A and B are shown apart, each in its own frame.
Chain A
């Protein structure tokens, strides 16, 4: 009994000393810029509210996903998102849509005070990762609802890809931002068509 009570903590201590800690890098989806800080006028614009962005289950983890084969994924233990994607993607999409069109005032539900909005957006993202083919891909589906005329509501399947020009996660994250910009542009384009 006494032996055990000494040996177990000793093993823990030795084990703890022997383990080399992992070097962990955190990545931000959005980078701070002065453009974002501009005060937006909230009048005379069509309002669009991002109601919900639902990520695939494997994208809810903090580790950055990478597709290593057709059906295999790797969730990194060393390269992590600094913020949960389900929180950061809506914010990024809102900023991206805002910067791409001056005709729309974009809000995020549960983040902003949302007045009665013209459009409601629901996004489901199935893929948002780098692949072993040297690309980053995003796919999923969004639904844009015209609250003034629900007959004009539309659901769109999307797929975007971008080539990686550099190695490493930092570059992959930068390309993922571009994919989200593509989605934002697509949503704005769809909204314009609904008008």
Chain B
């Protein structure tokens, strides 16, 4: 037992200070640390965020649309927003880290979607998998995080070996992006881009020729339109070129070296070439220098078109440039107004070098020719098509004529077409026959008959004179010559008689043509009545058949 004193003295408590932080806090700290590490790891492992600008976000979806290159996924679209000007969209995409080195300036992005063109059907897989962005990395350059997307897939992958050339057409025909360039039927290139130059009013095509075919392109290469059917009416007749079946439904360009020309030097990048209207056209020599002259035509120029040949002794030396010029202060109402036809003559076609110096020499020579009687004649070149041309020839009756000018250009005197001359002669003859006083002649004839006896007497006298005439040896020779001439004429006429071969040939030709026209008549009727019968089958009514007579 303890005493009271002992019990009143309390032992001081041993106070131990309490721990400030519980060990349990380690758990959330550890969690935070792990979380932070995970975030850092995720941030550090994710690829760069790039921005691609497109005109529209059609088919794209944030969080779903993939970015692929060679069908391997390299990224994912994270966000799509409109740009500041509201004229495009900004697509934010995360590229996987291992592909970040591919994000080189100039790399191309485009949306892959189903497309049906004459060149083929592409992107059909995206009907199931959904549209995606195709990424075509550039080989070298600085890294970038902003790219301008292509609205259409590039026709030629980056780095494809070959040659880019610029083409422009001579005629009205046009081509579109994707049209093929062929070499003897093999597709060796394509038109990548079409540009219209407003200043020159000319269309330019950027074309790519794949290797190794690009080595075929030289300074002498000529391109021509190889599409579908090429039909041409000209003075020489009718020409028809039909391309391959593929070119019947799509445009195409072919190229080659003109016949008889050397291969030429290797072409340079972006070299300019003309697209000729046809294969035949590439063989036509291009002449740069020309002299211009006027030809004043008094007759009609219905068959004389721009481009019609100007020939000298059958060789083309130029062409017609213009037929529609009406001088100031004059009108076609003035029936005596000659129609001015502008022609050009190429010194190159005359055998002179196609240089500026040749112009002076050719001009002097042609002026001399005119003073020696050179005239221009409108000739009918093709009777069926009515095409006309201009022929330059000499006519001594025009020699020493004074050189005339019109709008500062020399005028070549005009002669008459012999055929036209013949037609005019016939017309004059018919007019004269019409003007003959037939009734008066008949009255005179009656008078003549009443004086028959006098006439008979005169005939007797004439007969006697005729005998004397034939007895003369010189006159007999003249009669013999006349007889020979008449015999020649008889032979000539027999060539065109109804039994002649010429006549038979013409008849056969006419019968063939008639038969051909008759064969086309039902077809024309069908097309007239049912224009769609060419494409869609027409339900034809059953025809009646001759039936036996009812008893």
Inter-chain contacts of A12 with B (CB < 8 A): 534-535
Chain A residues contacting B540 (CB-CB under 8 Å) are: 22, 77
B265 at the interface (CB under 8 A from A): no
Give the interface size class of chain B.
Answer: 20 to 34
A16's nearest neighbour on chain B, judged by CB, is: B535
Residues A134 and B547 in contact, CB atoms below 8 Å apart: yes
Report how far A130 CA is from B178 CA in the complex, Å: 60
Q: Does B334 interact with chain A (Cβ within 8 Å)? A: no
Known: A15-B535, A75-B522, A76-B543. A134 touches B549 (CB 8 A): yes
Residue from the list A2, A11, A84, A172 in contact with B546, Cβ < 8 A? A172
A122 interface hit (Cβ, 8 Å):
no
Distance between Cα atoms of A43 and B116 in the complex (Å)? 79
Q: Is the CB of A169 within 8 A of B549?
A: no
Are B118 and A84 in contact (CB-based, < 8 A)?
no
List which A48-74 residues lie within 8 A (CB) of chain B.
Answer: 60-63, 66, 68, 74
| Distance in angstroms between the alpha carbons of A52 and B164 in the assembled complex | 69
Question: Interface SS of chain B: helix, strand, loop or mixed?
Answer: loop
Residues of B with C-beta under 8 A to A9: 248-249
Contacts of A134 in B (CB 8 A): 546-550
CA distance A87 to B176 in the complex (A): 53
Indicate which residue in A1, A61, A135 contacts B518 across the interface (CB closer than 8 Å).
A61
A161 CA to B2 CA, complexed, in Å: 169
Nearest neighbor of B119 in chain A, beta-carbon distance: A2
Evaluate contact between B548 and A166: CB separation under 8 angstroms: yes
Q: Which of the residues A60, A76, A165 comes within 8 Å of B548, measured between beta carbons?
A: A165
Q: How far is the CA of A84 from the CA of B517 in the complex (A)?
A: 12
Q: Which residue of A lies closest to B121 (CB)?
A: A6
A172: chain B residues within 8 A (beta carbon): 546
Q: Could you say which residues of chain B place their CB within 8 Å of the CB of A22?
A: 540
Report A126-159 CB contacts with B as 1/0, cut-off 8 Å. 0000101111100000000000000000000000
B325 within 8 A of A: no
A18 touches B116 (CB 8 A): no
Whether a CB of chain B sits under 8 angstroms from the CB of A39 is: no
Q: Mark B residues whose CB is within 8 Å of A.
A: 116-118, 176, 178, 248-250, 498-499, 504, 507, 511, 514-515, 518-519, 521-522, 534-537, 540, 543-550
The 17 listed contacts between A and B (C-beta, < 8 Å) are: A5-B118, A6-B117, A22-B540, A60-B514, A60-B518, A61-B522, A62-B518, A62-B519, A75-B522, A76-B543, A77-B522, A130-B546, A163-B548, A164-B548, A165-B548, A167-B547, A171-B546
